[in-house]
Structure 1
Amino acid sequence: MTEKSTPAGNTPVVWGSDVIAETIRALGYRFIALVPGSSFRGLHDSLVNHLGNHDPSMVVCLHEEHAVSIADGFSRVAQEPMAVALHANVGVMHASMTIFNAWCDRRPMLIIGATGPVDARKRRPWIDWIHTSKDQGALIRNFIKWDDQPTSPEAAIEAVLRADQITRTAPAGPVYVCLEVEMQETALDRTVKVPDIRRFNIPEAPAAPADTLKKVVNALREAKSPVLLFGRGSRESAAWQNRVALAEALGATVMTTLHNAACFPTEHPLHHLPPVGERPDAAESALLRQADLIVSFDWHDLAGFLSARFGEMQTQTPAPTHIVHCSVDGFAANGWSMDHQAFPAADIRVLADPDSLVRQLLAEIRAQKDWTPVTRKATGHWADTAPAGPDAGLPFNSEQLAFTLSAFSRGKDVTFARLPFGWPRIASRFTTPLDFLGKDGGGAVGTGTGHTVGAALALQGSSRLTIGVIGDGDYLMGVNALWTASHMKIPMMMVVANNRSYYNDEVHQERMARQRGRPVENKGIGQKLNDPAPDIVGLALCQGFEAGETVGSAEELQRALEKGAAAVAAGGRYIIDALIIPGYSDK
C-alpha cells in the first residue's frame, strides 16, 4: 500500500530535484526502493510533494541491501527495472553485496545515489564531509554497467536517460547515477525540460546476422541427435511458447538448469532429464556424449558445465560435439569479477539475444516445408518415476520438504521466488515461466527474503501465490526485508528450510577433515545455529507476519502450507519454520 502525500503533488517545477523526479516518472518507473537519507532529501521531497508519491511509489526498507534485493526480485517478474535510492557513500557500501548479486544475475536496475556538496565551502561541519566522496561510483564500478555524477539538472536528466537505456539493454545490469546535493536543492532560475522520452528508447534486442543464422540452420538440418540448452531467457509467454515450438519442430532434447529461472516446461516429453543441479549427473553426461550438436541459448557457465560432463577442461580438450553458443553476455565481462565463468569452445558463435535466435530459427524451419523432426529412441521420462509427494516413512529432510512443496503446488498458480540448497532436481515441476524465478547469481547470503518481497510486489493483484523457500542462514541475514512486505501489505509466504546450521560450510569442513585425516566429528564447530536456536517464527512476527508452530514432518508442513495459502489469499503474509534434518539431496 502506497503512503499518500498531502498535498498530493502536481506542484510547479521549482527545484533541480523536481526535474530529476519527473524524468524517472516519464521513463515509466513504478517504484523506488529506499532507506531515507539526507544526501537525497531534495529528491525525496520532489518524489513526495511534487509527484505525490506515485509513479514511482516509495518502497521503504530497513536496510539498503534489502532495497536492492527487492528491486532484483521485482525485475525477475516484471522484466523491467525498479529504481533504488541509496544514501551517500555509506548507503552504497551497505548495498554493495546485493548490487554485485544483481550484476551477476544480469538484472536491470536504476540506482540513484547522492553525495554531499562538491564545493567544500558549502559543506556542513562533519556530516557533509564524511558523506562526500570524490568518486563515489568507484565503490561499485567494477560490478555495474555504467555510472555518472552530473552537476546540473540538465546533465542529470541526460544521465538518467542514458542510465535507463543502458540498464535495459542486454546484457542487463545495474547502473548508478550520483546526484550532488547542491544540484538537487538549488532553485531553478531557467526552464529545464524533460524531453520526449520516446526519442531515447532502448534498441531492439540484437538478432543473428543472416550468414550466421544460415550456418546454425544448416547445422540443425544435419544433426541427428541435437540437444538444446536453454539458460537465461525472457519470462514472456510468447518467448516460452517459441522455445517449446522450436524443440518440437526439431525433435531435439532439451536441458534446463536450476541456476536460472524456468524457461521450458520441465515435464515436456523432450525434457526427459530433470533440470541440471549443482553436481554433474551420469545420465546428463551420457546424453551429451550421444549428441552430435549442442546449441546453447545463453547457458550459464557453458564451459564449466561441459567440463564436468565430459571430464575434460574445455580450453584444453574441448567437447568433441559440434557446439553453437548464442549469447551477448561477453559484453558484460570487465576482468574484475570472474562471473563470466570459463571460456567455452564453440564452432558457431552467435552474438544475439537468445530469444531472438529462437524466433529466427523457428521462422526458418517453418518456412522450409521439407523439414522433418529427428526421431529419437524412446526413453523413460524422469517425471514418470519421480515421487508424487513425500514419503511419511522417511525422515523430514530437504528432500521431503521439497516433495511436500512440489505436491502442494501442483495445479496451483504458485511462483517459487527462490529455492534453497538441497532442493532435489526431481521436485522441479515447472509448467509456466513464472513457476520458478532462479537462484541468486552472486552466491550471496541474505537475499532470499528481499527477492521474494520484490517478486510478490510485482505479482500483487494477480492470482499467483508467491513463495520463497530459503535456508535459515539466508533468512536470518535478510529477515528485516519482511517488514517492507507488511508495511506495503504485499501478500506472500516464506518457508524456511531450517537445519540450524550453516550447513553448506559443514560440508566443506567435512571435506577438509577427510582430506587432512582429521576428526570429521568437528565439522559442526563454528557452524551450528543453536544455544539458543534463533527464533525463526518470532522474528517474522516482529515484522508483521502471521505464523503457526514450527513444523517437523511432511504432514505438519502440508497443513501449514494450506493455512498459509489461505492467509495469503486473504491479503496476508505467512511464515513457516520447517525444522529439517541436515543434508542435501542427490536427486
Structure 2
Amino acid sequence: MSKRSSSKRSSAPDVGRRNFLKGASIAGAAALTAPAAANTAISGVSEPRPKATVPGAKLAAADAMPPPADPVNQTSSGGDFMVDVLKSLDIDYLAMNCASSFRGLHEAVINHGGNTKPEIITCPHEEIAVHMGQGYAKMEGKPLAMICHGVVGLQHASMAMYNAWCDRVPVIVMGGNIMEADKRAPGAEWPHSAIDPAALTRDFVKWDDQPASLQHFAESAVRAYKIATTPPMAPVMLSLDAELQENPIENRDLLRIPKFSSVIPPQGDEAALAQLAKMLVEAENPVIICDRVARTPAAMPRLVELAETLQCAVIDNYGRMNFPSRHPLNQSFRRSIISQADVIVAMEVNELWGSLSDFHDRIVRTSSPNYKKTAKIVTLGTRDLYMKANYQDLGRYQDVDLDIAGDAEASLPTLIEQVKRLTDEGRKSAFEARGKKLAAAKLATIAQAKSDATIGWDSSPITTARLCVELYNQIKDEDWSLVGTSIRLAWPHKLWNFDKPYQWNGVAGGGGIGYTLPSSLGAALANKRHGRLTVAIGGDGDFMFVPGTLWTAAHHRIPLLYIVHNNRAYHQEYMYLQAMAARHGRGITNTDIGTTLKDPFIDYATLAKGFGVYGEGPISDPNTLGPALKRAIAMVKGGQPALLDVVMDQR
C-alpha cells in the first residue's frame, strides 16, 4: 500500500473533432464577450478556473463504493474515538499530506467529526505542515496537530520538527504506523513502518508514545498536549497504529476521555527574585536582555512595567514580540551598552554566551566578552529545565552569578512588586535621570536608522531598506502583523513601530531553510480569524525549499502578503565563500558557483499564479514598488494570498 494511491482511470466518451471545434468556438466567443471577473481588475490575477466536469452516474457510484471485501455495516471506528479526544483538546486544525497509514483517522475527521475542530489543512509536504504549526502556535498561543505517513512522512517532517524544537514551540505531531508485522501488506507497508517510528526524532521532541489501545491513546494524547504546552514548550509525537484507527470499537462505554488541565507555569523562587530585585535597584546601569519571554499577550506590558519602574535599558533578541520597538528604553540596536552594565539580567535567552561575547571567525576563530568583569549576570527562565544531549542548540556555557529557574513571564509580577517595594524617592530620581539619557539615545538611533535607510534609495536592485519603508507606509494604519523576514533583515525593527503582542513572532529556532513561507502561512491562519493583515518577507533560497505552500494558501484562502526577497543567491553562503577565497588569495570570481540562483533566473510571480495565488514581479524598478504593494495589499485585504517578487540587494 503506497503513500500516494494511483488515481482510477476511465475511458471518456469519444468527442468528434467537429463537435470539439464547435464547442471550442462557442467557449472562445463567450470568453471574448463576457465581462471580466471582478478580481481581474487588478493586473496579474488569473481568470477563475473552470469547475471540474461532474463524473457520470456509473463512475460516481464506482468511486463511492468501498472495495468489495470491506464490510459496509461498521458503524464506528477507533478513529472516531480519536477524533472525540482531539476535540476535547480544543485543536482547531489538523495539517496533513494524505496517506494510507492514517486513512482511518482521516476518514473519521471528515465524516465523524464534520471536518471541524480539527479542520484538515491540506499540505503538499509534511515539512510545510509542521512549520505551519510552528507559526500558528506562536501567533495563537496554542498548538495545532499534524499527521504524517510512517517513517517516510516523518523524515520529511523532521526538519520542521527540529526548528520547532530549537524554537521551543508546541506542535502535536502524529504519525501512522503498522505495529504488528503479521498485519502489514506486502510492498510499501514494510519500508514505511517501524518498530519505533519516533526514534527518528526522539532527540528533538519533548515526549513521544505509541499507544497500544484506544484508552492508551486518550491518556497519551492529553498527556502529550499538556507536556507540549508546559514551559519549556516543544513538539511531541504520537505513533498511531493503523488497525487501532480503523477497527470497530469493541465497547465504547468502557473508554474514557481524561480531563485536561493545563500546568500553571512555575514562578522563580521568591527569595531569589527578591535578591534580583535588590541587585537591580542598587545597580547604576542595569540591562535586561530578553529573547522568548512572551508566551501570552500579558508579557509585553509586564516587561514594560518592570523597565519603566527601573528606567533601565532593554535589549530584545526578537525571539518573540517582547518589548515595543519605539519605546525610549528599547536599546536593541545599541548593544555596546552591555559593556557599561553592572547588572545584566537575561530573561528566557536562548544562547546567552552569544549575546555576551564578540566572536570572529576569520582565519583563526577568536572571541572575547563584551561585558565588564565586575558585572553581575543573572538568568531567569526555563531554558535549563529541559535539555537533550545530542543536538547542540544550547550554546556555549556562560558563567552567571545567579541562575533563577522559572518562567520569566510568570515571574515578572513578583519581581516588579519587589522592585517597587525597594525603590525609595532617591532611587526614583536616579532612575529618571538614567531614563532621560536612554530616551535621548533612542531618538538618535531612530534618526540614524531613517538616514541610513535613504542610502541607495533609487537604486536597482531595490534596497531592503526602501522595501521596508514603502511597505510600512502602506500598512501602518492597518491592524498588521509581520510574521517572518529573511535572514538578518533588521530594517523593520529599526524603522517600524511594533507595539502589539502579535506584530512579530520570532524566527526559525534551528535556522533550517524552508521555515519562513510555511510558518508565515501558519501565523496567517491564526490571524485570519482576528482580521489582521499578515505580511512576511522571505528569502528566495528559503522559498525554493517549500514553494508548494502557496497552493495551501490558495486552497484554504488564507490571506497573506508574501514578499520574496529576491537577491538571486543563497547570499549568506555566497559571502562566506568569498571570505574563504579571499583568505587563500584566490580571488572571488568563481564564488557564484553553487551559491547563486541564476541561469535561469526564477520567476516567482509566475510560480505563484500557477498555484492560484496573486503574483506580481519581478519588480526591480523602485518607482514601481509602491503601486505594486498597493495592489497586493488590496488582494490580501480582500481575503486572498498574494506574492510580490522584488529584486533586492543582498541584505
Q: TM-score, normalised by structure 1?
A: 0.91
Q: Alignment partner for residue 298 of structure 1, among 344, 348, 363?
A: 348
Aligned residue identity for 2:467: L
Q: Alignment partner for residue 562 of structure 2, among 494, 518, 532?
A: 494
Which residue does 2:500 correspond to in 1? Answer: 432
Which residue does 2:576 correspond to in 1? Answer: 508
Alignment of 1:8-407 (within 5 A): 14-116=76-178, 118-191=179-252, 195=256, 197-198=258-259, 200-234=260-294, 236-258=296-318, 260-274=319-333, 283-285=334-336, 287-308=337-358, 319-368=373-422, 370=424, 372-373=427-428, 374=431, 375-376=433-434, 378=437, 379-381=440-442, 382-387=445-450, 390=454, 392-395=457-460, 396-407=462-473
Shift of 1:404: 2.8
Shift of 1:192: 5.1
Tell me the SS of whatever aligns to 2:618.
Answer: coil
Distance 1:318 1:153, change over 3 A: farther
Shift of 1:561: 1.4
User: C-alpha distance in 1, partners of 2:559/2:371?
Assistant: 51
Q: Alignment partner for residue 410 of structure 1, among 466, 473, 476?
A: 476
Contact 1:387 1:403 in 2 (8 A): no
Which residue does 1:475 correspond to in 2? Answer: 543
1:137-174: CA deviation from partner (whole Å, max 9, x where unpaired): 11000111011111111111111111111100111000
Tell me the SS of whatever aligns to 1:95.
Answer: helix
Aligned residue identity for 2:250: D
Distance 1:318 1:224, change over 3 A: closer
Tell me the SS of whatever aligns to 1:467.
Answer: strand
Shift of 1:409: 3.6
Contact 1:406 1:429 in 2 (8 A): no
Aligned residue identity for 2:313: T
User: C-alpha distance in 2, partners of 1:409/1:348?
Assistant: 43
Distance 1:309 1:510, change over 3 A: closer
User: C-alpha distance in 2, partners of 1:193/1:512?
Assistant: 66
Distance 1:390 1:567, change over 3 A: farther
Aligned residue identity for 1:539: L
User: C-alpha distance in 2, partners of 1:165/1:431?
Assistant: 30
Shift of 1:129: 1.5
Distance 1:390 1:541, change over 3 A: farther
1:97-130: CA deviation from partner (whole Å, max 9, x where unpaired): 11101111111011111112x2222221112212
Give the stretch that moved more between structures: 375-384 or 138-147: 375-384
Which residue does 2:55 correspond to in 1? Answer: none
User: C-alpha distance in 1, partners of 2:415/2:281?
Assistant: 11
User: C-alpha distance in 2, partners of 1:390/1:528?
Assistant: 27
Aligned residue identity for 1:515: R
Distance 1:127 1:12, change over 3 A: closer
User: C-alpha distance in 1, partners of 2:185/2:244?
Assistant: 16
Aligned residue identity for 2:270: A
1:251-305: CA deviation from partner (whole Å, max 9, x where unpaired): 11111124x122101111111443xxxxxxxx423x1121111111112311111
User: C-alpha distance in 1, partners of 2:413/2:215?
Assistant: 40
Shift of 1:13: 7.6
Give the stretch that moved more between structures: 404-413 or 333-342: 404-413
Give the stretch that moved more between structures: 323-332 or 99-108: 323-332
User: C-alpha distance in 1, partners of 2:386/2:373?
Assistant: 25
Contact 1:418 1:437 in 2 (8 A): yes
Shift of 1:433: 1.6
Contact 1:235 1:263 in 2 (8 A): no
Report the aligned-residue RMSD: 2.3
Q: Which runs of 5+ in 2 are unaligned?
A: 1-63, 65-72, 361-365
Contact 1:547 1:574 in 2 (8 A): yes
Shift of 1:345: 1.6
Contact 1:237 1:433 in 2 (8 A): yes
Aligned residue identity for 1:46: A
User: C-alpha distance in 1, partners of 2:521/2:389?
Assistant: 32
Shift of 1:370: 2.9
Shift of 1:401: 2.4
User: C-alpha distance in 2, partners of 1:94/1:536?
Assistant: 24
Q: Alignment partner for residue 603 of structure 2, among 529, 535, 546?
A: 535
Aligned residue identity for 2:483: A
Contact 1:22 1:194 in 2 (8 A): no
Distance 1:321 1:544, change over 3 A: same
User: C-alpha distance in 1, partners of 2:83/2:155?
Assistant: 24
Contact 1:21 1:51 in 2 (8 A): yes
Shift of 1:454: 0.4
User: C-alpha distance in 1, partners of 2:525/2:617?
Assistant: 26
Which residue does 2:644 correspond to in 1? Answer: 576
The total of aligned residue pairs comes to 561
Which residue does 1:277 correspond to in 2? Answer: none
Shift of 1:246: 0.8
Shift of 1:364: 2.5
User: C-alpha distance in 2, partners of 1:537/1:233?
Assistant: 37
1:460-498: CA deviation from partner (whole Å, max 9, x where unpaired): 132321111001111121110111111111111110010
Distance 1:422 1:238, change over 3 A: closer
User: C-alpha distance in 2, partners of 1:246/1:195?
Assistant: 45
Give the stretch that moved more between structures: 407-416 or 145-154: 407-416
Aligned residue identity for 2:393: D
User: C-alpha distance in 2, partners of 1:424/1:293?
Assistant: 27
Distance 1:162 1:237, change over 3 A: closer
Q: Alignment partner for residue 450 of structure 1, among 496, 515, 518?
A: 518
Which residue does 1:3 correspond to in 2? Answer: none
Shift of 1:422: 4.6
Which residue does 1:278 correspond to in 2? Answer: none
Shift of 1:547: 2.1
In percent, how many aligned pairs have the same letter? 30
1:359-389: CA deviation from partner (whole Å, max 9, x where unpaired): 2112223445736442316242211332186
User: C-alpha distance in 2, partners of 1:540/1:358?
Assistant: 45
Aligned residue identity for 2:149: H
Shift of 1:195: 4.2
Distance 1:96 1:555, change over 3 A: same
Which residue does 2:39 correspond to in 1? Answer: none
User: C-alpha distance in 2, partners of 1:313/1:253?
Assistant: 22
Q: TM-score, normalised by structure 2?
A: 0.82
1:185-220: CA deviation from partner (whole Å, max 9, x where unpaired): 22122235664644x312110101121111111111
